[in-house]
């Protein structure tokens, strides 16, 4: 060895020209680094980068084979490899030399690495999608339907209570759970309406519990365990107590058919799977929530039709016209327009027109009795959230 100026020592005579610079070289067989001399455009092969090893051997890398490692932290230096010798590494720490040689490296160097055959990606992708779809749309629903039948009444009620708290929290923008409306007179009116409908308790192992939530949404839903939730927006929009009674009867139908229990078990199974699929990028819970409500927001058409049919029976038995349920559907359609777009997907029920017709058909041969609530009770129900003008104004200004 004769020092760093001619690291290849005695073989210097073989090199007719001084090298353009030096770099560290790892040949990919071991962890020993070799100091190599580099020459661009050697006379005998101008399209190559000539590496002169310490022992005098020479490697000639074709310039078009040069590859730059991407996304490197150090901006002045360069790490190169060769397509023909992908394990070897050349570490150029001299910024001037790195710049000169870097100018010859093809631009589309190692970016994302070699792509496996497209067929294999497709096969795996389809396999994953198919198995997830099978689980979410077939296995979990079938199991949920079976298990819902065997869930004891206390279990259903607990499931409903847990879900109720979650929903109250989700629906409110301010961070505190949404208020439950429970002015005593209003609660008495709600109880009177339930009593008038007189759901057959051999259909349900537990009494129906109705809560009104202080929210503008024109909607109502049922949770496991006979827990029915009406939004104030629905009571505000109804023009007669019979219309609210119709919705209530429909929701009781869902409770009797155990639709909410099935739904809750279904989402317990599918939400974890969706979490798997999307990963937790940027707090993926929002995507999860969106995706899950798209899957589970509504019951099937059959479930809705069955709940409607139950409601018609219940109303007729109570001396109320099932047509009131249809009237409520008309208001729903007016409120949310011709069911279209994202809003419709979350808020509207499918095939409303058919269901309106069905309620009219059920009302054809009935001679209705008195309305579901008398005038005073109806006022009390409309005021269940604190219905005075002052309270209403305060609520609007508060927003």
Q: Site residues for other proteins, window 59-98 (CB under 8 A)?
A: 69-75, 79, 87-89, 91, 93
**Taking CB under 8 A as the rule, does residue 112 contact other proteins?**
yes
Can you tell me which of 103, 282, 367, 389 binds other proteins, judged by CB under 8 A?
Answer: 282
Cα dihedral 74, 77, 83, 84 sign: negative
Q: Is 170 in the site for other proteins (CB under 8 A)?
A: no
Provide the CB-side half-sphere exposure for 395 (13 A, CA): 13
Residue 119 found at the interface with other proteins (CB under 8 A): no
| Integer Cα distance of 191 and 196 in angstroms | 9
394 touching other proteins, by CB under 8 A: no
**Helix (H, G, I), strand (E, B), or coil: what is residue 371?**
coil
239 Cβ contact list (under 8 Å, min separation 6): 327
- Shortest CB 115 distance to other proteins, Å: 5
Q: Determine, following the binding rule CB under 8 A, whether residue 27 of this chain makes contact with other proteins.
A: yes
Kind of pairing, strands 227-231 and 209-213? Answer: parallel
Using rule CB under 8 A, residue 143 touches other proteins: yes
Residue (52 or 270) nearer to other proteins, CB: 270
CB 78 within 8 A of CB 101: yes
Question: Is residue 270 at the binding interface for other proteins, with CB under 8 A as the rule?
Answer: yes
Q: In angstroms, what is the minimal distance from the CB of 322 to other proteins?
A: 26
**10 counts as binding other proteins under rule CB under 8 A:** no
Q: Is 341 in the site for other proteins (CB under 8 A)?
A: yes
- Positions 224 through 243 that interact with other proteins (CB under 8 A): 233, 236-237
Q: Which of 151, 128, 171 is nearest to 268 (CA)?
A: 151
Query: Which candidate, 387, 296, 282, places its Cα nearest to that of 345?
Result: 296
- Chain centre to alpha carbon of residue 259: 22
Record the tokens describing residue 207, joined without a space.
Answer: 């009494």
Q: At what angle do helices 259-278 and 153-171 cross, to 10 degrees?
A: 60
Q: Which stretch binds other proteins (CB under 8 A): 30-38, 59-67, 295-303, 360-368?
A: 30-38
Interaction with other proteins in 353-382: which residues (CB under 8 A)? none
Per CB under 8 A, does 287 bind other proteins?
yes
Nearer to other proteins, 9 or 155 (CB): 155
């Amino acid at each position: 060895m004769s020092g760093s100026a001619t690291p290849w020592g005695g073989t210097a005579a073989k090199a007719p020209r001084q090298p353009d610079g030096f770099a560290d070289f790892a040949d990919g067989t071991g962890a020993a680094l070799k100091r190599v001399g580099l020459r661009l455009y050697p006379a005998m092969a101008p399209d190559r980068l000539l590496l002169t090893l310490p022992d005098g051997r020479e490697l000639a890398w074709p310039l078009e084979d040069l590859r730059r490692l991407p996304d490197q932290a150090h901006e002045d230096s360069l790490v190169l490899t060769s397509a023909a010798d992908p394990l070897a590494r050349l570490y150029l720490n001299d910024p001037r030399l790195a710049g000169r040689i870097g100018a010859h490296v093809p631009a589309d160097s190692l970016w994302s690495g070699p792509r496996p055959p497209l067929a294999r990606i497709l096969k795996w992708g389809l396999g994953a999608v198919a198995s997830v779809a099978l689980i979410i749309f077939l296995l979990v629903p079938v199991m949920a339907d079976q298990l819902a039948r065997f869930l004891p009444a206390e279990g259903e009620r607990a499931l409903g209570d847990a879900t109720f708290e979650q929903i109250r929290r989700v629906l409110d923008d301010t961070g505190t759970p949404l208020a439950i409306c429970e002015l005593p007179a209003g609660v008495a009116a709600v109880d009177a309406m339930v009593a008038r409908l007189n759901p057959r308790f051999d259909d349900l192992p537990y009494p129906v519990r109705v809560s009104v939530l202080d929210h503008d949404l024109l909607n109502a839903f049922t949770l496991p365990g006979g827990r029915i939730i009406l939004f104030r927006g629905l009571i505000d929009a109804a023009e007669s107590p019979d219309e609210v009674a119709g919705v209530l009867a429909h929701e009781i139908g869902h409770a009797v058919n155990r639709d909410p229990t099935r739904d809750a078990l279904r989402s317990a199974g599918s939400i974890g799977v969706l979490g798997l699929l999307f990963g937790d990028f940027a707090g993926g819970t929002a995507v999860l929530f969106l995706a899950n409500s798209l899957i589970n927001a509504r019951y099937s058409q059959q479930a809705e039709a069955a709940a409607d049919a139950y409601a018609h029976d219940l109303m007729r038995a109570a001396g109320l016209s099932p047509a009131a349920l249809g009237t409520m559907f008309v208001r729903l359609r007016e409120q949310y327009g011709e069911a279209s777009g994202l809003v419709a997907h979350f808020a509207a029920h499918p095939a409303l027109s058919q269901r309106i017709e069905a309620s009219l058909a059920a009302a054809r041969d009935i001679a209705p009795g008195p309305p579901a609530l008398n005038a005073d009770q109806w006022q009390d129900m409309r005021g269940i959230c604190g219905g005075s003008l002052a309270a209403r104004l305060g609520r609007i200004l508060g927003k």
